[in-house]
Structure 1
């Protein structure tokens, strides 16, 4: 049986434009995991486990609402709340694996397909450093090439970013290459842009080991980078925005958006 799950290696770049400029870039790798293949992956790979310790692992509680409810069922409930029915089609999760027991994903992406393989929706699951999560659920047009979504910010992420922002997502379906661009704007002006680019590799023990050798402790690297860049922003004099009370709604349904061009200077 050929696995649909695979590994991606690439780079992440962030660029802040206002009220001061700030930019950083780092290497990382991710897994694209078919949620129906989890136990098969764990049985085939020595360096990857499902819901138990290993060099790399996937724990259901690291995603969704953190409960014991199967993650696929949780994703389907999110879709149904947004009026999307994939009728049992495959769901693939793009995320960083838990590494030596530690997990942190600033953003995880669920690619939700109908039974015929057509992409029906994307779930953008945002994680902040306070242990909270929020899902933006967005449908995908059947004839789309580049996928674009717009929505208002509904979840507190960074103390250096206000809540009065709009997000603009641009991405392609994961294939030999995967690209994701996100910009945040306020009053029609771009405040921040982020870009992820990655290339596909077979998911094997050898690929996992070489990824660990090239980029060790990737999830720890990400959380350290977040705090290091926060310190740099604070030293640049950026003011802090208070953390609002969390919304009781962990899901935001993204309305269909007209096609538009994202500010290329932010990406």
Structure 2
């Protein structure tokens, strides 16, 4: 588990920032944590929350997505960073999958993005040795940015420290930066209970924070809302 701080900073068209403290899980999607019955309301990982949502496991959904793009991990290890369902609710703005070949080398990283309109989209990334990857923006996330520009992501696989950065660059310059910073903790029963007490309804808090951020930009800053285009079908995701 990674108790962490998520920060969003908008530079354009108006500067605005917010931070939220929460906690994320780093798991093997082949073998999600098995918790005693009395802790299960605090952490569940469901296949329906990822990729097409209609396969028996998260790993099966990932493998289907990769297979559609000609990538076979041949059983290689995958680690997944995400929020768990808490009291039946989950919202994962960004879920990351570090995908390895059988020899342990990194084959790719998959960034699965959810927006507040219950849509999801996956980016297939090939990071360099420092964890840096670039990709065109293909998915409507914020109502204040159109679908243009591209992302520069720094996604080193978590170890003792969790340190992720996502920049959105648009014509005219950098428009938005999101960061995730945290430290690893053992996923013990005590640690989970402590995290749940410190951050009750943690995934709902992230969802509410994003929506309040949007209200502040629309009402207080007067930013115009960009039309939401129809999200095209993405094989292996919808």
TM range (shorter): over 0.9
After superposition, the C-alpha distances for 1:172-222 in whole angstroms (9 at most, x for unaligned) are: 111001111011111250001111111111111111100011111101101
The match for 2:2 among 8, 16, 31 is 8
The equivalent residue for 2:152 is 168
Aligned Cα root-mean-square deviation (Å): 1.7
The match for 1:23 among 17, 23, 28 is 17
Structure 2: runs of 5+ lacking an equivalent: none
The equivalent residue for 2:63 is 76
**Structure ranking higher in strand proportion:** 1
Q: Could you tell me how far apart the structure 1 residues matched to 2:51 and 2:75 are?
A: 18
The equivalent residue for 1:123 is 110
Deviation at 1:36, TM superposition (A): 2.1
Measured at CA, do residues 164 and 9 of structure 1 come closer, stay the same or move farther in structure 2, by a change above 3 Å? same
The match for 1:61 among 45, 48, 51 is 48
The equivalent residue for 2:232 is 247
Deviation at 1:23, TM superposition (A): 0.8
The equivalent residue for 1:132 is 119
The equivalent residue for 1:34 is 28
Q: How many residues align?
A: 236
| Structure 1 contact 136–251 (Cα < 8 Å) conserved | no
**TM-score, normalised with respect to structure 1:** 0.84
Q: Could you tell me how far apart the structure 2 residues matched to 1:210 and 1:123 are?
A: 30
Q: Could you tell me how far apart the structure 1 residues matched to 2:104 and 2:190 are?
A: 29
The equivalent residue for 1:264 is none
Do structure 1's residue 185 and structure 2's residue 169 form an aligned pair?
Answer: yes
The match for 2:191 among 198, 207, 210 is 207
The equivalent residue for 2:217 is 233
The equivalent residue for 1:110 is 97
Determine helix, strand or coil for the equivalent of 2:117: coil
Measured at CA, do residues 60 and 251 of structure 1 come closer, stay the same or move farther in structure 2, by a change above 3 Å? closer
| Structure 2 contact 68–235 (Cα < 8 Å) conserved | no
Measured at CA, do residues 173 and 67 of structure 1 come closer, stay the same or move farther in structure 2, by a change above 3 Å? same
